[in-house]
Homo-oligomer: A and B are copies of this chain.
Amino acid sequence: MARPRPSDILVTYRVETPGSPEALAAKIASDQSTGTFVDLPGETPELKARAAARVVAFERLDTAGAPSLPARGAAFNRAHVTIAYPLEAVGTDLSALTTVALGGVWSIKEFTGLRVVGLELPSEFDGVYPGPQFGIDGSRRLTGVYERPIIGTIIKPALGLAPDETADVVDELIKSGVDFIKDDEKLMSPPYSSLEARVTAIMPLIRDHEQLTGKKVMYAFGISDVDPDEMVRKHDMVVREGGNAAVININSIGMGAFLFLRRRSSLALHAHRNGWDLLTRHPGLGFDFSVYQQLWRLLGVDQFQINGIGAKYWEPDESFIQSFHDLQKPIFHDADRPLPVVCSGQWGGQAPETYRRTGQTVDHLYLCGGGVVSHPGGPAAGVKAVRAAWDAAIAGVDLQDYAKSHPELAQALAKFGAKSPTSEGK
């Protein structure tokens, strides 16, 4: 088997086929570089040495009884296959990488399952892309929150509030002591609530509160727009009014538009990975998050939503924990690590398990939507409850015990404790 060269781009696939996984591995390497369906006169040994992708690792896995894609048969052979793509043939353009190694592969006929489970970029990619501008340290600096998670919440209801109604909600949320507020990712600039109207209604409240208390609440406005020129115009409007963050629906705008924005941005870019589930939810198809997140970190995501323990969505806790660890690993440098955003169905009750399973770190944004705004005592009590839960988690005190001296936490446990089961039981 060929050895990888230091400059190779290494992509690991989990393949599944009723046929030979060795043959499938060779076919992927050929199809995604020099090959076509017939022999070619120009396909010389010299050319192949320059451009051909090569299989550099192959590990048989256990056979699957059921195929990932509908197919007949009783046994499907599986393997982990690592293919080395020459940097000379791909370059450092991420759209070339996705086309060659992370795109066309799913067109190959012979597999019943194909998932990209590993990506190792050579050092030649270091410095080509801007990476996070704020990340963990910048998010702490902008919010002034240290030595505990940044506590965030979301405007609810997600859709339907007029800008002045939104401002009323924001006013209450600011006074609740929360560190971060965001638009729901589904709220961008619809006719009934244009971004401009929201920015105009909300930013004076943020500024006034900062004047009064010295605390600047980070507000992430939904500035996504399929038109990059328009998105930058929206970005500039937020900056002009003193805002410091934006929610970006990364899959909806795409890699190019995100990079275009990042190169012009002075906001912390908070990524919502809407649609990601389609790319990862079937275990035999698509991508591991460990691969996907690398692309977006290089492009410059500052804060990355990754669900949480006991999420309201389909994602299992183990997957969330793995995602958290993925974001903690430098690609090339510590500074390319974005701030993990723990979210979905969070209310504080998951703090102990989150703390323990993420390596006892507090470097994240802990985002509670309904968990804050639907607290029986209102948002201020909701924020107190979440803060208390994290204090207890960090101190290693049981939440029920801590709640005896923290009535807001007691109220949260009573209201949400039955609704958001965690994997450690209740």
- Given the complex of chains A and B, what is the CA–CA distance between A89 and B187 in angstroms? 8
Determine, out of A273-281, A324-332, A386-394, the stretch whose residues face the partner at the interface. Answer: A273-281
Asked if A189 is an interface residue, CB under 8 A from chain B, the answer is yes
Of B157, B258, B285, which contacts A42 at CB under 8 A?
Answer: B157
A residues engaging B (CB < 8 A)?
A: 32-43, 47-48, 50-52, 66, 68-70, 87-91, 93-96, 98-100, 102-104, 106-109, 156-161, 165, 169, 185-186, 188-192, 224-229, 231, 249, 251-260, 263, 272, 274-275, 277-279, 281-283, 285-286, 299, 312-315, 345, 369-371, 373-374, 416, 419-420
A373–B87 Cα gap in the complex (Å)? 27
Q: Shortest distance in angstroms between A251's beta carbon and chain B's nearest beta carbon?
A: 6
Contact A419 B37 (CB under 8 A): yes
**For residue A227, which residues in chain B have a CB less than 8 angstroms away from its CB?**
93, 256, 259-260, 263
A89 x B231 contact (CB < 8 A): no
Closest to A278 in B: B106
Q: Which residues of B contact A165 (CB under 8 A)?
A: 42
Interface pair B161/A42, CB less than 8 Å apart: yes
Give the CA-CA distance A345 to B38 in the complex, in Å. Answer: 9
Q: Check B33–A158 contact: CB distance below 8 A.
A: yes
CA distance A286 to B156 in the complex (A): 29
Q: Say yes or no: A95 contacts B249, CB within 8 Å.
A: yes
Closest 10 CB pairs of A and B: A254-B254, A256-B257, A51-B160, A103-B275, A103-B274, A106-B277, A47-B160, A95-B252, A95-B226, A51-B159
Given contacts A33-B158, A228-B259, A253-B254, 13 further A-B contacts (CB under 8 A): A34-B160, A38-B374, A41-B374, A48-B160, A90-B190, A93-B226, A94-B252, A95-B226, A96-B188, A96-B224, A99-B275, A108-B314, A109-B314
* Chain B nearest CB, measured from A66 CB (Å): 7
Query: With the chains together, A194 CA to B80 CA distance in Å?
Result: 33
- Can you list 19 A-B contacts with CB-CB less than 8 angstroms, sorted by A residue number? A36-B157, A38-B370, A38-B374, A51-B159, A51-B160, A69-B282, A90-B190, A98-B249, A98-B275, A99-B272, A102-B275, A103-B249, A103-B251, A103-B252, A107-B314, A109-B313, A225-B256, A228-B256, A253-B256
A278 with B281: CB separation less than 8 A: no
In chain B, what residue has the closest Cβ to A416? B38
* Pairwise interchain contact A104-B185, C-beta atoms closer than 8 A: yes
Alpha-carbon distance A211/B314, docked complex (angstroms): 62
